[in-house]
Amino acid sequence: MDIQYMIEIFPQFLSVIPITILIVVLSAVFGLLLSIPVAAIRIRKIPVLSQLMGAYISFTRSTPILLQLFLFFFGLPVLLQLIGFDITNIGAITAAVACLIFFNGAYMSEVLRPAYLAIDKGQHEAAESLGYTPFQKMKRVVIPQMAPIALPGLGNAMIHLIHDSSLVFAIGVVDIMGMATIMSGDTFGMKQVEVFLTVALIYWGISMVSEQIIRLLERRKKRVLRKTGYELKEEEAGYSV
């Protein structure tokens, strides 16, 4: 063990952390945006579309994220060619972000759907009888109640995303893991343990920070829920596999 070496290589990893964060944030934001229509279609049970979305969710859940990454990396150019864009090779980061948005859209929609369904029917009726427009109802009644229920699931999705983003090095993105594989090659296989231990510590740190942020939000959630009188179930926020 060469702790001196670990400290030496640490700054080099710091320079690639923004790439990981960029990928995570982009796919989290657009994944959430994608998951809203998917969840809406599934809740409304729109005939053909609902079955299609069911297949989409089952597909993303049952294939490894690594396989999906490769499918996007090799498949997107072919797909784009079909609709006229002639791009022989798309960037690895584009493919990675597109894939993670696709994956996360399905994952988060399965968080949002039960959260929406958990809201009492009477709440909808009350809002309608007060003459709220659908948008007002969403903003003032549904979302404030949905958010605290969906929060733990969304937090889990975030941590999963951070972990999954470590796989994008497989299609050639130089993120933290990509940097690590380059480095372990540079040292002619002498210091791999140190390199990967450093990477593990960095990911541990990132996960801990995001967990703290989620916990902070959760504390707010408890305060909001106490006001509305919602019964908190024990261990509701457990980290699922």
Partner 1 sequence: MFDIMTVFESFIEILKVVPKTLFLALIILVLSFTLGAMITYIQSLNIPVVKQVIGVLQSFLRGTPNVVLLYLVYYSLPLVLAWFLGLFNVTFDPTSLNSTAIVIVTFSICYSVFQSEIIRGALHSLDKDQIEAAQSLGYSTTQVLRKVIIPQVMVEALPDTMNAFLIIIKALSLAFLVTVVDIFAQARLVGAQSFSYLEAFVAAAFVYWGICVLLTYVIDKLENRMRRGYA
**Residue ranges in contact with partner 1 by CB under 8 A:** 58-59, 61-68, 70-71, 74-75, 78, 81, 162-164, 166-167, 169-170, 177, 180, 184, 192-193, 196-197, 199-200, 203-208, 211, 235, 238-239, 241
**How far, in Å, CA of 145 to CA of 120, rounded?**
10
Q: Closest CB to partner 1 among 101 and 141?
A: 101
Q: Which tokens sit at 1?
A: 């063990």
For the chain, count helices (H), then strands (E).
Answer: 10, 0
The token duo for 63 is: 């294939």
**CB of residue 117 to partner 1, shortest distance in Å:** 20
Q: State the nearest-atom distance from the C-beta of 227 to partner 1, in Å.
A: 28
Q: In terms of CB distance, is 136 or 187 closer to partner 1?
A: 187
Q: Which is nearer to partner 1, 58 or 123 (CB)?
A: 58
**For residues 100 and 84, what is the distance between their CA atoms, to the nearest angstrom?**
24
Q: Give the nearer residue to partner 1 in terms of CB position, either 131 or 189.
A: 189
Min dist. Cβ of residue 1 to partner 1 (A):
9
CB 225 within 8 A of CB 147: no
Closest distance to partner 1 from the beta carbon of 108 (Å): 18
Q: To the nearest 10°, report the CA torsion of 60, 101, 29, 40.
A: -50
Question: Comparing C-alpha atoms, which of 155, 237, 150, 202 is closest to residue 18?
Answer: 202
Count CB atoms within 10 A of the CB of residue 112. 22
Q: Whole-number minimum distance, CB 240 to partner 1, in Å?
A: 8
For partner 1, the closer of residues 51 and 63 by Cβ is: 63
